[in-house]
Every structure is written in structure tokens, then in C-alpha cells.
Structure 1
Amino acid sequence: MVKTFIVGFDGTDACQRAVDFAVACAKHQSAELHLVHVLEWSPYKFMSSEEMRERHERKKQEVASAEKFIEPIVAKMRKDGVQITSEVQHGNPTEIICAIAKSKPDSQIFVGRKGASKLTKLLVGSVGMSLIQSSPVPVTIVP
């Protein structure tokens, strides 16, 4: 039985649909929700010490901003009786979500499908497709 539903969340309508579906599933199965917001962050190898300090400060500011963005969402869900945890990380969304799933083997991943055109709708999206290919647990793509 699934104990944790991991939901990739970036604030888009597609991700909100994934959250809503995961909440319904979690309530039905008495599972916990784990909301994950990943800030994409590419590593730079050649930087001066001043550039590194500036980059580190910018990274801290982005994490703080993302946490402030997620806090009211998590608080509302808790008020509605949802067992929920959350985290904000920097890096590659697929790698981070898969690492979280590996640490929670009785889990399932939920992500929203993005796109408006017919061609885009046929595609799951880069993060969704990557998760399908590399996830250690089941992945649900919510339209």
C-alpha cells in the first residue's frame, strides 16, 4: 500500500490539478502528501569567489521565496485535514524527485501535464517523461 504521495509542484494550473488529485487519493488511502518544489539550478564550474558568493546568496533568496510561496498552500491543506509535508530544493527536478522517492519506497509520484497544443498534449512534458523513465516508484501524470 502506498504511504506517501510525492507531488511535484511549481504553482501552475497543471501542477494544482496534480495536487488536487493526489489529495483525493491520499484521503481515500489515508496516505501522506509530500509537496516538492524544485528550483532548477545549473552548476557553473568556473566562477570567481565573488560570483560564487553572489550566486549562493541568490540561491538562498530563491529558496526563501519559494518556501513563502508554498507555506500558505500547505497550511490550507493541513486545515482541511491533509497530512502534508513539503520541501524546496535546487537542482534537476527529475533527479531530486526520484531521490525523494528512493528514500520513501512506499510512495507514488504525481505531476501535472502541461501544454496547450495538440502536439504538446501528446507529449507528457520533459519532467514527466523523465520521471516515467527513471522513477523507482509508480508515476501518475494528471492531465
Structure 2
Amino acid sequence: MTAKLVVGLDGHSSGERALDYAQKLAGQIGACELLVVYIIEWSPYAFQTPEENEQRHKRREKEIASANERIIAPAVERLTKDGLSVRGIVRHGNVADALNEVALKENAEQIIVARASERSLSQRIFGSSTANLVMEASVPVTVVG
């Protein structure tokens, strides 16, 4: 049976730390598939005209293509070159909710994310996506420092 690990990337060096840890862990596990995931923050709760909705759909498609090109493809290529089984996934939504949904849908054993090195004032006051994920996830979460 192949283990599945969800690796949440953020497009910054913190995501690279999560990827490094996941690669090391996958090497120790052996039969393992890494699901490299990037979530584009997006809320469906906006009231818009039909014209704005059409523009929003086009913008979402461009954001997905950009995230695949800039973040997911390089990570998948790097891990594949090292002989690992990897799939890339890009989604829109709340980061914590979407990572948990991917983990549940894929029957993943755990989610690996990194703590952001630079936190804004609002994150210190209201919490971060990582903190929300740890509190709400349906599978174990490993937070890399």
C-alpha cells in the first residue's frame, strides 16, 4: 500500500522547507506519493454582476495556470528527478479547509506545511492558515519550522 502525503506550498521559502521535509520523509517511508498542493486564497462569498462573475472565472483560470507554472511544476520536476512519485494540485479557497479537503479526498496519511517566517500583525492577532489547519484537520499535520 502506498502512503500519501499532502505538502502545502505557499510560493515562499517556507514552502520549500515543507517540501524538503516531505522529500526526506518519503525517502524513509518508501512506497509513498507526494501531493504537492498550492491553494489560492479565494472566497466564494462575493455578490457580483454576471459580467464580474465572467471576469472572475477568467482571472481564476489565469491564477491556476500561473501557480502551476511558478510553484507546482518546479516542485514536481525536482521531486520526480529524485525518483519520487508526485502529483501537483492547485485549488482556490480557504487554505486550511482546502488542504484538509484534498487530504480527505486523496486518503492521505498526513499534511505537511511550514510555519511562515514572517507574520503580519493580523496573523498574530487572528491566527494563521497553519494554526487553523492544525486545529481543524482530519489527519495529522506536521508543521516544519
Say yes or no: TM over 0.5: yes
CA distance in 1, matches of 2:15, 2:5: 14
- The amino acid across from 2:21 in the alignment is F
Q: Which runs of 5+ in 1 are unaligned?
A: none
Q: Which runs of 5+ in 2 are unaligned?
A: none
Number of aligned residue pairs: give it.
139
- The amino acid across from 1:112 in the alignment is A
String of CA shifts for 1:79-99, please: whole Å, max 9, x gaps. 111111110011111111111
| 2:7 is the counterpart of 1:7 | yes
CA distance in 1, matches of 2:118, 2:57: 35
C-alpha contact (below 8 Å) 2:39/2:92 kept by paired residues: yes
1:25 maps to what in 2? 25
Q: 1:71 to 1:131 in 2, by over 3 A?
A: same
- Tell me the CA shift for residue 111 of structure 1: 0.4
| 2:105 is the counterpart of 1:103 | yes
CA distance in 2, matches of 1:33, 1:7: 7
Residues 71-86 of structure 1 aligned to structure 2 (within 5 Å): 71-86=73-88
1:40 maps to what in 2? 41
| Percent identity for Structure 1 against Structure 2 | 37
C-alpha contact (below 8 Å) 2:36/2:75 kept by paired residues: no
Q: 1:93 to 1:77 in 2, by over 3 A?
A: same
- The amino acid across from 1:109 in the alignment is I
Q: 1:59 to 1:34 in 2, by over 3 A?
A: same
TM-score (norm 1): 0.88
